Structure 1
Amino acid sequence: MSTTLTRAAVVVSAAAAALAGAVLPATAAPTCSTAWGSLTESAVEDGGGTLDDARSGRHACYDRLVLDLDGVDASDVSYDVRYVREVIEDGSGRVVPLRGAADLQVLVHTPAYDGGGAATYAPRNAAEALDVRGYSTFRQVAWAKSFEGESRFGVGVRARLPFRVQVLDGPGDGSRLVVDVAHTW
């Protein structure tokens, strides 16, 4: 009799597992909103502080660029993010060559140097400021320098895709400028 109960329990467990697998897929595709648009996003605020770091990340629906701004409240971050024909290096006027079908310029009205002129952000290789190999949307992130209180990045993008800009508090007494570029429309 115990063998019959054990077999029945196995059959019931297998049926429940099969039903759960049919009802709930193991991996669900993400639902990505692309209602952001591709027109210029900007904010003119007090600015100040310094650009201290840049980093990137891959997400299910977008690629992300994050600029860490030290000594700048989120409400004071001043920026201009837009697609351009070409990104121009601050100070020199040289064109920054970028891989991809579209050039996204990220300008923050915050210097990458302190009051004494010492660099607060200086990547080893300006042309490849961040490693974005394997990203869905980003093809290249280049450092286009900091000049007269402004810092500029060029982002080579696979195509002119929607983007959004957010300003977040922290870490510490700073804030973060976040630029997300969607994988699709």
Structure 2
Amino acid sequence: MRRWGTAVTALALAGAGLAATAGTADAAPTKIVIKTAKASKAANCAVTWGSGDKSGKTSAYKPLTGTTASKHECFDRLVFNVPGSSTAKPVGFHVGYVDKFYQDGSGDHIPVNGGAILQVFVSAPSYNPETGKPTYPGKAGKTLPGVNISGFKTFKDTRFGASFEGQTQVAVGTRAKLPFRVQQSGDKVIVDVAHSWTAVR
């Protein structure tokens, strides 16, 4: 009799284990909700920036001191640091796609890797206008110092052009001719280039 009771108890425990397993299987829809949330987030990557030339006027004539790049979910970003400027006293710029990249002033051709070339002019010299001392160590035809674009989706290359007549010229090699925007936040001029024309990441 005791053996029979023990068997019944074992069966009851096994049934409880199966119920627990079934409860875990019922939790699967939660994963689907998470995937849906990611898909919704990807849809936010849709942009309306366009790929046409973009320009902005300057009211702050300050030197460039550095550049950085960063990867984001929907775009790659290049930042120009111009201390002394601000959104109230912005740095001028002219940004647009070109077929080939020619150094400002000399007209020398500088090869740039990628499917398209985005040329960037910022109204900030890479030297101190008063002393002539360099403030940014860019070298003609070389990659931008301090910028590492390894593993980026859109950026494929960067090249320094020149600092000529009060403005600095650089090129960004991109995967293709993609939408971009230019804005200033604090003392930084920001160039964002989208990963694609669609909402898909």
State TM-score, norm by structure 2: 0.79
> Given that residues 42 and 81 in structure 1 are in contact (C-alpha distance below 8 angstroms), is that contact kept between their aligned partners in structure 2?
yes
Alpha-carbon distance in structure 2 between the residues aligned to 1:150 and 1:124: 15
Measured on the aligned residues, the alpha-carbon RMSD in Å equals 2.4
Greater fraction strand = 1
| Residue of structure 2 equivalent to 1:24 | 34
- Where 1:25 maps in the other structure, the secondary structure is helix
Shift of 1:54: 0.5
Matches for 1:121-140 after TM superposition, within 5 Å: 121-123=136-138, 126-129=141-144, 130-140=147-157
Q: Distance in 2 between matches of 1:28 and 1:124?
A: 42
- Mark the runs of 5 or more structure 2 residues left unpaired by the alignment: 1-8
Deviations 1:65-99 (A, max 9, x none): 11111111223221111111222223322122111
Where does residue 119 of structure 1 map in the other structure?
134
Instruction: Say which structure is richer in helix.
Output: 2
Q: Distance in 2 between matches of 1:102 and 1:19?
A: 43
For residue 97 of structure 1, give the secondary structure of its aligned residue in structure 2: coil
After TM superposition, the structure 1 stretch with the greater mean CA deviation from structure 2, 10-19 or 111-120, is 10-19
Which digits, 9 at most, give the CA deviation of each residue in 1:100-135, with x for residues without a partner? 121111101111111211111114785221332322
1:153 equivalent in alignment to 2:170: yes
- Rounded Cα–Cα distance in structure 2 between residues aligned with 1:159 and 1:47: 33
Count of residue pairs brought into register by the alignment: 180
CA–CA distance in structure 1, aligned partners of residues 138 and 19 of structure 2: 62
**Residue identity opposite 1:118 in structure 2:** K
TM-score by length of 1: 0.85
Q: Which amino acid in the other structure matches residue 23 of structure 1?
A: V
